[in-house]
Amino acid sequence: MRKCFRGSLLPICLLAAAACGQVTTDAVDGAPDVDGPPGVDAAPDVDAGLDVDASPTLDASSVDAPPPIDAPPVTYSLDVRVDGSGTGAVTATGGSISCPGTCSATYPSGTTVTLAALPSGGSTFGGWSGACSGTSSPCTVTMTQARSVFATFNAPVAPNVMFVTSTTHTGNLGGLAGADAICQARAQAGGLAGTYRAWLSTSTVNANTRFGAASGWVRVDGKPFVATVADLGAGKLFTPPRIDELGNDVGEVGAQTGTTVGGVFNTNGGDCAAWTSAASAATATTGVTAGASAMFQVYGTSGCATAHRLYCFGVDRAATVAPAPVAGTRKAFMRLWTPGGGITSADNACQSDANAAGLSGTYRALLATSGASALSRFGLAGGAWHKVDHVGTLPTAQAWSTATYLDAPPNLTANGQTNYGNYLHWTGAATLTTAGTTASTCNNWTDTAMTASTGIAGTSRVSAYFGPGSYQCNFTSATITCLQL
C-alpha cells in the first residue's frame, strides 16, 4: 500500500505521484497534476519564499555581569619586644597588644597603631627602636608592611645622697673648691661613695649650676629629699635636710649657702668673699636645717667668723626620686586664709581646696578655738597624715601630740603646686595640745581687729611651726594647715 503524506513538500509528492493519484501537467509545467485520494485535502502550497525568523540576537547590555570576587584583605603583623635592664610594658590602642604577654597582632593594611611605653618598678623608659624611634611615648606606626618595634626600659638608677656636715666651718672654706673638698672628706667619713659638692653660691657662680645633670636625692637615712635641682632652688623639698653624713639628726642649726630662692646668689647676704674670708665684718646668707622649704637655704645673714654647717650633694647620677602613695594614710596640706568668718570659714576653705584638688574625705583646719586645742578637732587613732606628695609628716597621727620635730611639715597646697616657706601660720594657741582663748584666736576667728597666735609654715620644728608668735588677724598672707578627718 502506498501513502502520500499531507504537508509533504512538492518534490516529495512528485516522486510519489504514481501512488497518490493522477498526474496532470496543468499545475506544474512539465508535470501532471496529482489528485489526492478521495476525502483527503491536498497539501497546501508552500511558499518557498517564506521567511524563517533567525535566532534572536542577545543584547549584552541586558545581561547582568557575574558579581566580582573580592580579593582577600591585606594584613600585616606588628611584633613588639621589651628589652633592657628595667621593667615595663608596651600597650597598643584597643588592647590588641599588651607586652609582655601579648606581643604580636595583625592589622589591615593602612591601620595606624599607637603604642605606649609604661615603665614600672622605678624603671625608666630608655627609648624605641625598629619601626619607632626616639624617647617619647606614645609612638604611632602605620601598617603598610610587617613591622617590629623594640622598647627599652632601664633599671632604676640609685638616687644620689645628700647630707648636712657634722662639722662646722667659718666662711673661709678655701673657695668653692675647698668647700667641695670638705664635702668629699665628710662623705668618705660616712662611708658614702661618689663625688660630692657643696650647695654654695658666689657672686659669679650660682649654686644651681654646680651639679651638672644630677637629679634625685635622698638623705642618709633613705628618706626622699628633693627630685631636681630646680625643685631644690625653689625649696620644694620632700623633707628637711636635717641628717648628717653619719645618720644623726642635727635638728635646727644654721648652714652656709650664700644662696636665695631659685638657687642663685643672694646679693643681699654676701658670700664671705667667695668663701675665702672668716672676717667678722664679712657676711653670708645662711639657711636652717629644719626648713622643708626655701628656708633651708635662705633664712638669715651671718658673720663669716661664725662657724656653720654645709649642705653636701652627690652629683654622679641622674636619678628619679618620687615617693609612692601609702595605703591607709590621710592627707594634709596648707592654704592661705584670713580670719573673720569663724572656724567654720576655715573648715570650709580647707574642704573647698580638697574638693578642687580631687582629694576625697572631709577636712578641717588645724586651729585652736576658745576652750579647745587644735588637735582635739581630729581623731588621732586614724591613719598617719601625709602631704599630697605622699611624704609622711610623722609615723602616726598620735605622734603629733608629743613630737619635737615633724618628719616634714604639711606645707604643700592641696594641688601640690606651692610650697610655703617663711610664711606666718595661724595656730590659735602656743602648742598643738593647748586650748585656745578668746585673745589667742581673734575671738574664735571672728574679729579681725584682734590678734591671734601664729607659727611659721615651712619649718619642721614643732615649737616654731605651731609657735607662740602673734599677729594682727586682718593679715591676708598667713596660712592654715588642713587635715583630713
**311 beta partners:** 164
Neighbours of 36 (CB within 10 A): 14
Residue 35 three-state SS: coil
Q: What is the mean pLDDT of the chain?
A: 89
Sort residue 302 into left (φ over 0), alpha (ψ -120 to 50) or beta. beta
List, edge to edge, every strand of the sheet that includes 254-256. Answer: 254-256, 283-288, 300-303
Alpha carbons 205 and 196: distance in angstroms, whole number: 17
Secondary structure (DSSP) of 327-363: TT-EEEEEEE--SSSHHHHHHHHHHHHHHHTT--S-E
Residue 149 DSSP label = E
For the cut 90, the answer to whether the pLDDT of residue 2 exceeds it is no
pTM: 0.76
Alpha carbons 17 and 71: distance in angstroms, whole number: 72
Residue 232 three-state SS: helix
Residues, the chain: 485
pLDDT (average), residues 132-137? 94
pLDDT on residue 6: 40
Alpha carbons 322 and 216: distance in angstroms, whole number: 8
pLDDT (average), residues 114-124? 91
**Burial tier of 361 (Cβ tally within 10 Å: 0-12, 13-18, 19+):** exposed
Angle 9-10-15 (CA atoms, 0-180°, nearest 5)?
105
Alpha carbons 222 and 224: distance in angstroms, whole number: 6
pLDDT on residue 228: 98
**pLDDT tens, position by position, 220-239:** 999 999 999 999 999 999 99
Q: Please give the C-alpha separations between residue 80 and each of 101, 111, 149, 264, 481, in angstroms, as whole numbers.
A: 10, 16, 5, 46, 49
pLDDT (average), residues 10-33? 40
Mean pLDDT is lowest, of 65-69, 204-208, 244-248, 321-325, for 65-69
- Asked whether the beta carbons of 387 and 335 are under 8 A apart, the reply is no
Alpha carbons 314 and 194: distance in angstroms, whole number: 6
For the cut 80, the answer to whether the pLDDT of residue 166 exceeds it is yes
Residue 295 DSSP label = G
The set of residues, in sequence order, having a beta carbon less than 8 Å from that of 327 and lying 6+ positions away, is: none
For the cut 60, the answer to whether the pLDDT of residue 63 exceeds it is no
**pLDDT tens, position by position, 400-413:** 999 999 999 999 99
Residue corresponding to grid cell 592641696: 414
pLDDT above 90: percentage of residues in the chain: 81
For the cut 70, the answer to whether the pLDDT of residue 320 exceeds it is yes
pLDDT (average), residues 196-220? 98
For the cut 90, the answer to whether the pLDDT of residue 275 exceeds it is yes
Q: Which of 292, 324, 389, 387 has its CA nearest to residue 156?
A: 324
**pLDDT tens, position by position, 449-467:** 999 999 999 999 999 999 8
Alpha carbons 235 and 281: distance in angstroms, whole number: 29
For the cut 80, the answer to whether the pLDDT of residue 477 exceeds it is yes
For the cut 70, the answer to whether the pLDDT of residue 158 exceeds it is yes
Alpha carbons 220 and 241: distance in angstroms, whole number: 10
Secondary structure (DSSP) of 245-286: TTS-B--S-EEE--EETTTEE-TTT-BHHHHB---TT-EEEE
Neighbours of 389 (CB within 10 A): 18
**pLDDT tens, position by position, 346-379:** 999 999 999 999 999 999 999 999 999 999 999 9
pLDDT on residue 470: 96
Residue corresponding to grid cell 608668735: 469
For the cut 70, the answer to whether the pLDDT of residue 161 exceeds it is yes
Residue 46 three-state SS: coil
pLDDT on residue 238: 97
> 160-314: which CATH architecture?
Roll (3.10)
pLDDT on residue 418: 86
Alpha carbons 472 and 442: distance in angstroms, whole number: 9
The set of residues, in sequence order, having a beta carbon less than 8 Å from that of 90 and lying 6+ positions away, is: 80, 82, 97, 98, 99, 103, 115, 116, 117, 118, 149, 151
pLDDT (average), residues 303-330? 96
pLDDT on residue 248: 98
**pLDDT tens, position by position, 80-108:** 999 999 999 999 988 899 999 999 999 99
Distance of CA 266 to the CA centre of its chain: 34
Q: Which fold has domain 330-484?
A: Mannose-Binding Protein A; Chain A (3.10.100)
CA atoms within 13 A on the CB side of 343: 19
Alpha carbons 441 and 432: distance in angstroms, whole number: 13
* 430: its cell numbers: 602656743
pLDDT (average), residues 189-213? 98
Alpha carbons 433 and 485: distance in angstroms, whole number: 17
Residue 306 three-state SS: coil
pLDDT on residue 72: 76
Please state whether beta strands 469-472 and 479-484 pair in parallel, antiparallel, or not at all (unpaired). unpaired
For the cut 60, the answer to whether the pLDDT of residue 42 exceeds it is no
Q: Which of 376, 485, 474 has its CA nearest to residue 424?
A: 474
Residue corresponding to grid cell 628589652: 83
